[in-house]
Chain A
Amino acid sequence: MADNNFDAISKKLNNISRRDFMKFCTVMAASMGLPLEVAPQIAEAVTSPKRPPVIWLSGQGCTGCTESLLRPTHPSLEHLILDLISLDYNETLNVGAGHQAEEAMRQSIEANSKQFILVVEGAIPTRDGGVYCMVGGRPFMEIVRETADKAAAVIAIGSCASWGGIAAAEPNPTGATGAPEFLVGKPVVSIPGCPPNGYNFLSTVLHYLTFKKLPDLDAKGRPKFAYGRLIHENCERRPHFDAGRFATQFGDDGHRQGFCLYKLGCKGPQTYANCPSILFNEVGGGAWPVGTGHPCFGCTEQGVGFAMPLHEQADLKFITPAADHAPVTSDRGGGVSAAAAALIGAGVGVAAGAAAMTARRLAEADKNDDGGEAS
């Protein structure tokens, strides 16, 4: 990257060293499962002055996703991120408010039409004309549709924006809908989770900035690098599952020893996410629900999170071998049933009886013969 660009950034960010910056880019590359060689490319894109802005709309949500973005514990990075992605509008983080803020957003949208990234946080209520979420006097659903039409890419952050989340839990009185379902026909990237790990969002955005295209997405529009595997397939407690070691009650022996939480209702087997790999809040190992001893409740998955009871046992999508092995030889088959034995006995009896009776009659005929009569 050009020296003067980096210098400008570095000054803004408490004079972050070049080395630390590269480290950050490398971490971003690694979290996306990309080869480390792309780190310089990421660095290049991030420091380019021609990066597109991000418009962040908040709907029926708790703002947890925004908070999650702020949690990475490096203050310099917080600024780095917000500055680097040129967050032009975010209700939580805006300095201004009211009509001026709205006007600023409209100008940004006009100036960067078809170039900006739209991020949607929170669900979009659709019932009764969308009155259940009004922003600046207008229904949120109108704002989303209008803005999405002009965006280059749409990202739905959090489960609520991805598929409705907690707002859409039975009986869904407000008609809360996720952005992909609402913006039919427009490609929407989903970063579900409640909240999702901030890095899942960051990596996606940086991928776009660097390579001018979105990372590989699955059928639900979720980046595969983060949502490509079940929690069950990445969990550090999986060996306990395979070996049949389960906690059956909170606080029991198994629970204390960190055994698998499947029997307590862990939805890991049905939930696609990378929580066990990248954890949360950068406080070290075990910083995710299962690691702390609570079963996963499937916050990223529609139909699982906020739908299935917390302690209901999950369905296993892929059933894999247990930790033990079959012995070379095992006894199978055979076993004499009472019915079989009885029938055989009966059959033998009938045959023997018939033979005995016939033999006796024939013996009589023989005896008659001896008495002189042919027969």
Chain B
Amino acid sequence: MTARKPLGGEVLSKPFKILLAVALVGLLFIGKRFLFGIGSVSGMNDGYPWGIWIALDVVVGTAFACGGYSLAFLIYVFKKGEYSPLLRPALLTSLFGYTLAGFSVLVDLGRYWQAYNIVLPRYSNLHSVMFEVALCIACYVLVLWIEVTPAFLERFNKTELQARLNRVLFFFVAMGLLLPSMHQSSLGTLILMAGYKLSPLWRTGFLPMLFLLSAITMGYAVVIVESCFSSVGFRRPLEKELLEKISSFMPWVLLFYLLVRIEDVNLRGYLPLAFAGDSKGNLFLLENILLGLPMLLLFSPAYRKRRMILFLAAFSIMLGGALYRFNTYITGFDPGNGWHYFPTGPEIMVTFGFLAMELLGYLWLVRKLPILADLSRPARAGG
């Protein structure tokens, strides 16, 4: 069993204060959105009804928050308990990522005060992909809060409650594996409805599978990147061996993903579009290079041993996965008829604000709750 303890230390560090300022500005613009309507803050329009609040905060943001999900597979399905020290930090990131994605949705919804309609049987449309995605994400946020609860209970020494929770935790862990599988793949099906408005470089029946795979790979990439940032930021040693192990199967997953991705485009006859030299073609190439290069690096055992390579490769995978999703929802989407979209300054500040709130939450709780491994007590032999 991994021993964990709060990191301690000063919460109000300089980065913390800067993030606080960013979050406050974001909140200001969120206030403006509620007072004067979405159009007063964002650049979204009838041609592009979904902007960065959906594409980045929700679609990319939840994928970044798949660290807990990806690790849970390793630890609970493949029984690789040695990864446990990485789990709680990843869950914390997932928690804030998904919760803030949920808040982003509330800000983006035009008639947010009726959001509960989605659970009323009178209104629920079981045929709708959006219905499934929304409910799934909502449930998963609850599951994440429950999965992080042990950390709170430990901190406040509620051993009785802890024991009781542990007896039923398996169910929530199982849900925590099922739900993201469902909604991450459905995020792909969601944009498929756009039909011809989505460029053929991205429009495929494989979207659900590709989105699921990208979520999984991004989950592992986030675990690595987050561990590296934590290690450097909090001046702690890096769990090098664990990360090395994770990075050993990542390139295989990436290989599979890239094979499906590119062969699908090729079989449908659209590969020449990738080399057309226009923005869509270039972005397609970039997104796959950002995934392909790290894949090649991580195939090499020697490179996997280098912290810097691990980090940069994982960072590149995060960017590549994010770009794939961003391309599918924004840059690959063209409704025609002269519509254009670019986010406004305030719109970007809202996204930055949510990101800042996520980081603030993480920085605060990681110091106050037993999230990170207690280095003074070695968990087990080896490592």
Contact = CB atoms under 8 A, between A and B. Distances in A.
B312 to A, nearest CB: 6
Contact of B345 (A330, A334, A340, A354): A340
A337 B228 contact: no
Contacts of A342: 345
Contact of B340 (A333, A337, A357): A333
B307 A334 contact: no
Interface in B341-363: 341-349, 352
Nearest to A344: B348
Given A358-B229, A362-B232, A365-B238, A334 B340 contact: yes
A362 B228 contact: yes
A362 B233 CA distance: 11
Contact of B338 (A332, A339, A355, A361): A332
A375 interface: yes
B340 A332 contact: yes
Interface string B355-377: 00000000000000000000000
A343 B352 contact: yes
Contacts of A328: 337
B28 interface: no
Interface size class of B (residues with CB under 8 A): 20 to 34
B337 A329 contact: yes
A65 to B, nearest CB: 54
B1 to A, nearest CB: 24
Contacts of A347: 348, 352
A363 B307 CA distance: 7
Nearest to A338: B345
Nearest to A355: B315
A359 B48 contact: no
Interface string B313-329: 00100000000000000
Given A334-B340, A357-B232, A366 B307 contact: yes
B344 A340 contact: yes
A250 to B, nearest CB: 42
Interface string A319-343: 0000000001111111111111011
Interface of B: 43, 45, 47-48, 228-229, 231-232, 237-238, 240, 306-308, 310-312, 315, 336-349, 352
18 contacts: A328-B337, A329-B338, A330-B338, A331-B338, A333-B45, A333-B47, A333-B341, A334-B43, A359-B311, A359-B312, A362-B228, A362-B231, A362-B307, A362-B308, A362-B310, A362-B311, A363-B308, A365-B238
